[in-house]
Amino acid sequence: MSALPGFDPRAAAGTASQPLRIRVWDLPTRLFHWALAACIVASVVSAKIGGNAFAWHFRFGYAILALALFRLAWGFVGPRYARFASFPPNPAAAWRRLRAGSAPAEDVGHGPLGALSTYAMLASIVLQAGTGLFASDDILWDGPLKDSVSNATSQMLTGVHLVNRYVLIALIVLHLAAIAWYARVRRRPLVRAMIDGDLALAAPQASPPAPAADSARVRAGALVLLAASAAVVWAIVR
């Protein structure tokens, strides 16, 4: 019987010097994460530059929307830790985690607070990219769907687009602060896990959790899904 990807049976119990590492984040999820971060930064920069660079603000916005559609679909058909079913939003559990005086149990994948953060950020990203399709600066640039709604609706959606950018920035700042806190206080390098896909768990582990699937078949399926998401956005824009 072959070993699951990302799981080393020789390290099943872990050791004091070398804790167990398992594959938690599959390659498509990791590439989505970093591509989304790059597109958001580029979108903000191109908007600040203005002028002809603003055309790139739209292009990066389309890319962000395609990535968001991919992640929403991947949340239903992706590997176990990428699926929404593995981290349902639970405000009560998140509140208990915040009030816990002792260190909480170690999470594999998203914990209660991480789940709420992920859902809030995805909602804000979809709202930002979606309203941008109808937005207008009333001078040079109009979203590709601006003419499909009334001027009053376009102005309202433009206002939402401008306000929601601050909500999204605040969520990103909280996300970065949480990563820094985990690295400094909990000694859990989450950034490394989002780079190589493997998470170090505390040892010993009598019953280590199963790793996420990250095979060539999974990656090929993600590529098809990303292409379909990009085709949907292209059809909307055109």
CATH number of 111's domain: 1.20.950
More confident residue, 19 or 6: 19
In contact, 57 and 46? CB cutoff 8 Å: yes
Q: Report the C-alpha gap between 21 and 192 in whole angstroms.
A: 12
Q: Residue 5 above 60 pLDDT? A: no
pLDDT tens, position by position, 21-50:
889 999 999 999 999 999 999 999 999 998
Q: Report the C-alpha gap between 60 and 210 in whole angstroms.
A: 36
First to last CA, the chain: 50
Q: What average pLDDT is seen over the chain?
A: 87
pTM for this entry = 0.86
In a domain, 100, yes or no: no
Q: 32: closest CA among 60, 6, 64? A: 64
Q: Report the C-alpha gap between 6 and 69 in whole angstroms.
A: 27
In a domain, 135, yes or no: yes
In a domain, 144, yes or no: yes
**15 φ, ψ (degrees, to nearest 5):** -135, 165
Q: Report the C-alpha gap between 194 and 2 in whole angstroms.
A: 25
Q: Residue 205 above 50 pLDDT? A: yes
In a domain, 163, yes or no: yes
Per the structure, the complete domain to which residue 127 belongs is given by 27-90+107-187+213-237
Q: Considering only 77-86, 115-124, 132-141, 212-221, which range has the smallest mean pLDDT?
A: 132-141
In a domain, 96, yes or no: no
In a domain, 179, yes or no: yes
Query: What's the average model confidence in pLDDT over 206-229?
Result: 92
In a domain, 148, yes or no: yes
- How many folded domains does the chain comprise? 1
In a domain, 137, yes or no: yes
Q: Report the C-alpha gap between 87 and 24 in whole angstroms.
A: 13
